[in-house]
Amino acid sequence: MEERNKTLGEFIIENQKAFQYSSGELSRIINSIRLAAKVVNYKVNQAGLVDIIGAAGEQNIQGEDQQKLDVYANEVFIQTLINREIVCGIASEENDDFITVQGSDNSHNNKYVILMDPLDGSSNIDVNVSVGTIFSVFRRITPIGTPVTSEDFLQPGINQVAAGYVIYGTSTMLVYTTGHGVNGFTLNPAIGTFYLSHPNMKFPENGNIYSVNEGNYVHFPQGVKNYIKYCQREEEDRPYTSRYIGSLVADFHRNMIKGGVYIYPTSSKAPKGKLRLLYECNPMAFIAEQAGGKATDGFGRIMEIQPTELHQRVPFFCGSKNMVEKAEEFMAEVE
């Protein structure tokens, strides 16, 4: 079969043995995400037609206004995972605390926990800009048969066994890794099937795009300001192009395909950064590294950070390897 005609289901079956715990559970997790993504995709595409856009009237644990589609996507992913009895715990950016999942026999025998941002960039829904879902999978570290604890979720990113994202845009794509490269699958909406469209995705080592919210420039650390000025200078292959969508999945996806760096630093407004380590930075860092890119907090590797709380925020520098390293040089100069 030609590689690009392969469905996600066929790809999962063929590559299951490459996963170190090949009991089929990870395949079932990816399959559950595939199903939930199709349901959410349907609602995203209906957003202008039904009462699903706009604010839900509540705030999440981060103090951010929840969009109606945030709440809907969160419920769809949680219920899909619970119904299939694959994971023993779920943590979501939209929930204050993690959810303990029991089997139908009230057991706690499942081996994996999943952490997710069910609808990244949801403030863009009302204006028809790409949004996404991000997920991260860990093998539990507490004994099988016992309820999960926060310890199972507060693991450094290097322990991830899978991570991925779904981007709901001009086409809907599911991109994921299990530690053996990164592959992208595009949904054919006519038949509801994901096909392998982007095998073995790689970040170009260099790029000419920098993605940062320059509206916050005055609040940025000096190292980031200096790097932005470097990107804008008319020298060598510069100035670079500034591209910032404000939806992490969309910015990351573009930069992985075209070559670029994404930066969400600390600032005087967000002294710890804004992005969540467990739901956004760790999974994207895992994908970036598997695609030959790099992800740091400006000084050290994202995936080596030991989390201390579920909704921990960190600064995030991610993308083409040489561009991230150049940004780190500017950070180190003023440290």
188 lies in some domain: yes
Q: Helix (H) and strand (E) counts for the chain? A: 8, 15
Taking only the tens place, the pLDDT of each residue in 118-176 is 999 888 877 888 999 999 999 999 999 999 999 999 999 999 999 999 999 889 999 99
pLDDT at position 175 is 98
93 in a labelled binding site: yes
Residue after which a domain boundary falls, among 149, 173, 200: 200
Q: Which residues contact 83 (CB under 8 A, 6 or more apart)?
A: none
Please indicate, yes or no, whether residues 112 and 177 belong to a single structural domain of this protein: yes
Please check if 223 is assigned to a binding site.
no
Same domain, 84 and 231: no
Distance, in Å, from the CA atom of 7 to the CA atom of 28, rounded to the nearest integer, reads: 15
Confidence of residue 16 (pLDDT cuts 50, 70, 90): confident
Q: Provide the residue range defining the domain that includes 255.
A: 209-333
Q: Is residue 244 a known part of a binding site?
A: yes
- Residue 22 sits in a domain of what CATH number? 3.30.540.10
**pLDDT digit string, tens, across residues 48-82:** 555 555 565 555 555 555 568 888 999 999 999 99
Confirm or deny that 70 is annotated as ligand binding: no
Q: Is 176 known as a binding-site position?
A: no
Encode pLDDT of 178-222 as tens digits.
999 999 999 998 999 999 999 999 999 999 999 999 999 999 999
- Same domain? For 49 and 177 the reply is yes
- Residue 31's CB is within 10 A of a number of other CB atoms, namely 17
Does the residue 128 lie in any domain? yes
Per the annotation, does 120 bind a ligand? yes
Would you say 252 and 123 are in contact if contact means Cβ atoms under 8 Å apart?
Answer: no
Which of the two residues, 121 and 115, has the higher pLDDT score?
A: 115
**Full DSSP string of 65-125:** EEEHHHHHHHHHHHHHHHHTT-EEEEEETTSSS-EE---TTS-----EEEEEEEEETGGGG
The reply to whether 189 and 306 lie within a common domain is no
What would the two tokens of residue 21 be? 């715990």
Q: Is 121 annotated as a binding residue?
A: yes
| Domain contains 155 | yes
Mean pLDDT, the chain, as a whole number?
A: 91
In a 3-state reduction of DSSP, which class is residue 44?
Answer: helix
- The whole-angstrom separation of Cα 30 and Cα 114 is 11
